Amino acid sequence: MNCIDLTGRTAIITGGASGIGLATARQMLKSGARVELWDRDPARLEAATRELGASSDVTVQTVNVADVAAVQAAADMSLQRLGAVDILVNNAGVTPGMRVVTEVALEDWRENISVNLDAVFFTSRAFVPGMVARGWGRIVNVSSLAAKEGNPFQSAYSAAKAGVIAFTKSLAKEVGTSGVLVNAVAPALFDTPLVAWARKENPQAMQIALEKIPLRRIGRPEEAAAMITWIASDQCSFTTGFTFELNGGRA
Ligand SMILES: NC(=O)c1ccc[n+]([C@@H]2O[C@H](COP(=O)([O-])OP(=O)(O)OC[C@H]3O[C@@H](n4cnc5c(N)ncnc54)[C@H](O)[C@@H]3O)[C@@H](O)[C@H]2O)c1
């Protein structure tokens, strides 16, 4: 059987208590990794731990990834617990309500930029030095198709996710010779709580988005998890600074 082997690897997955992050945790555990879920929602983390099953291979931390001091403290704790962190999946994200640019509140703009973009910088800064020192690391940043297309009424989200793609390229080049590969994925529509919320808020926009996907369905979280897990493995060895598409043929 051809399977992805992460035996002996340790992984931090931000936003790991739900949707794509939780599916990635499941997949990485199956592949032999130890995973630590970071999420700001303790109730979701508790449910995720129950679902993944009590095991020393799963640990959690309640952390707001937009808070630089909290990220540094959580990173110190992770390094103490796990010894080293080989894989970082920057997946935590929020989507704003749909608003024209002129009606976007400053605090909503800032929340989007800080959770969706600043956090990727904070966690990378915390874990890259250890990866470089050990000569192996994989960072997978979860961007969005919105980064490439610029979704109307989601300017802050689109701008933050586009920033993630550029950041991915910059960091990949900086650590190019170190054994650390930095890539991103750009999902379109996936069946997660985040999208369930957006569907309720604007069902018409969701229907239009669905019609643009040649496969005429939304993605399953395990489909994103499979790609993220492969990118985080030894099998992905000659690709860095790249953004992999996950969109049912839309882009
Ligand atoms: N679902 C989609 O269709 C889709 C499309 C494109 C991109 N994405 C991206 O994929 C990623 C995962 O999305 P999902 O659909 O699985 O969403 P989700 O809402 O199911 O999960 C996101 C998780 O992130 C956590 N989170 C949010 N803000 C946080 C913070 N400040 N600190 C720590 N944790 C925080 C939430 O508590 C939640 O558990 C996001 O970055 C999202 O932007 C999703």
- Domain limits at 130? 10-189+222-243
Q: Is 16 within a domain?
A: yes
- Contact 189 CB / ligand 1 (< 6 Å): yes
- Contact 142 CB / ligand 1 (< 6 Å): yes
Q: Given ligand 1 and candidates 12, 20, 220, which is best to mutate, with the most ligand atoms within 8 Å of its CB?
A: 20
Q: Is 100 within a domain?
A: yes
Ligand 1 atom nearest residue 197's Cα: 19
**Under-70 pLDDT residues of the chain:** 1-2
Q: Is 25 within a domain?
A: yes
What distance in angstroms lies between residue 142's CA and the mean position of ligand 1's atoms?
9
Q: Is 96 within a domain?
A: yes
Asked if 157 is an active-site residue, the reply is yes
Number of domains comprising the chain: 1
Q: Is the pTM of this model over 0.75?
A: yes
Q: 137-177: per-residue pLDDT in tens?
A: 999 999 999 999 999 999 999 999 999 999 999 999 999 99
Q: Is 4 within a domain?
A: no
pLDDT of residue 53: 87
pLDDT of residue 207: 87
Q: Is 197 within a domain?
A: no
Measure the CA–CA gap between 133 and 85, rounded to whole angstroms.
Answer: 11
Catalytic residue, chosen from 38, 127, 157, 167, is 157
CATH no. for residue 182? 3.40.50.720
pLDDT of residue 110: 97
Strand ranges inside 15-97, DSSP E: 34-39, 58-62, 87-90
Ligand 1 atom nearest residue 187's Cα: 6
Measure the CA–CA gap between 152 and 161, rounded to whole angstroms.
Answer: 14
What distance in angstroms lies between residue 94's CA and the mean position of ligand 1's atoms?
6
pLDDT of residue 153: 92
List Cα–Cα distances, 247 to 129, 152, 185, 204, 244, in angstroms.
33, 18, 10, 19, 10
pLDDT of residue 1: 54
pLDDT of residue 3: 83
